[in-house]
Amino acid sequence: MYPGDAEFGFELVTCRWAERAWPPDRESTTVPVVARQLGTQRRRWDTIVVEADPDALDARATFGERALDSDLLHVVRNAPAEWAWYRDALPDPGYPWRYVRAAVHRADARGVVETRRDGNRIEIRRVAPYPDWVRRIVAIENKPDLDASAARALADQLAHDVATALADEVWVATAATGATVEPALLEDLPVEAGVLALDFGDTSASDAPEARVAWHPARLDPTSDTSLSADEKAAKRLEIAERAYGSGWRSYVDTMRPDCRWFELRDRAGAFVPWCAAKSRHQTAAECAGSCSEFQPEPPAWRTRGWPIEGGPGKGLKRLLAARRRRRR
């Protein structure tokens, strides 16, 4: 059984499985970069898998662990190999140059370009070529209980994903029931969407699930939607990939309360999933907040057990997840 009643636990297990085993049923040299709850203003996906070129992904590390936003990407991708005035070097952004100038200063502060002054002029030079690290983007919706009504509820969202084709593939991940997926259920989903059944079987609580492809997805056609130009679409995709790179899927700990005395992480189906000792169950990300009626700060004594500088167990959990995120990179 997947961990807890909350879809949140299932989502974390899906992310961990994808990190280890993506892509299903296909030989590939790509490295999966996995993130959760990312997308555009109009559409947020549960899980994103960016299939990355391994060498180019290594080269991306030169630009640090944090995501490059669209303004920084404009500077970094166009920065020249030799010193040049930034207005000569960068393409006209289509908005006032003073915003570009601010982005140049931010890029310099992040160490992702070099700058120097020549009189009044700011010159820039790249620290390295920005690599072409994104091969494909895959969006996954997590629905552990994929019954007919859940499939119908998802259908519109998936149809929108298929129409916009911002991702190369869309999938629904569900918990395997032992039965084959009902044809009637598949009828409710767009045929282009893949269905992935994660089987938790009789495995022990900490074993990763087995995955079976119940329906193969179609490769989406990015030219089918004309609301964005090809360049705008490519820019949006790269922004999404950058955000996935910067946040990963373990960043849930930044919005939950690992500093609560009841917060624990339990190994479930291969992933660390938050557990609330006060409620004796896996809590959702939304309820584990400062507004939780059972929240109690971790006792001050926990902070003094040999880690007066590093902080208490809550900080330790954050460090553990951050270290795992770094190791994946």
Binding site for ligand SF4 (CB under 6 A): 257, 260, 262-263, 276, 278-279, 283, 287-288, 292, 294-295
- Closer of 136 and 318 to ligand SF4 (Cβ): 318
| Least distance from ligand SF4 to the Cβ atom of residue 47, Å | 23
| Least distance from ligand SF4 to the Cβ atom of residue 315, Å | 15
Decide: helix, strand or coil at residue 180. Answer: coil
Residue for token digits 């960043």?
A: 251
Of 11, 216, 31, nearest to 136 (Cα)?
Answer: 31
Q: Is 219 exposed, middle or buried (0-12, 13-18, 19+ CB in 10 A)?
A: exposed
Q: How far apart are CA 21 and CA 140, in angstroms?
A: 14
- Closer of 84 and 278 to ligand SF4 (Cβ): 278
Of 107, 85, 105, 225, nearest to 166 (Cα)?
Answer: 225
Of 296, 293, 280, nearest to 4 (Cα)?
Answer: 280
| Least distance from ligand SF4 to the Cβ atom of residue 248, Å | 21
Number of DSSP helices (H) and strands (E) in the chain, helices first: 10, 11
- Closer of 230 and 286 to ligand SF4 (Cβ): 286
- Closer of 198 and 276 to ligand SF4 (Cβ): 276
> From the centroid of its chain, how far is CA 235?
17
Of 77, 69, 78, nearest to 132 (Cα)?
Answer: 77
- Closer of 101 and 318 to ligand SF4 (Cβ): 318
| Least distance from ligand SF4 to the Cβ atom of residue 7, Å | 16
Tokens of 50: 């960016």
Of 114, 105, 62, 112, nearest to 84 (Cα)?
Answer: 114
- Closer of 6 and 197 to ligand SF4 (Cβ): 6
Through-space distance between the first and last CA atoms of the chain, rounded to whole angstroms: 30
- Closer of 223 and 280 to ligand SF4 (Cβ): 280
DSSP state of 260: B
| Least distance from ligand SF4 to the Cβ atom of residue 294, Å | 4
| Least distance from ligand SF4 to the Cβ atom of residue 14, Å | 22
| Least distance from ligand SF4 to the Cβ atom of residue 283, Å | 4
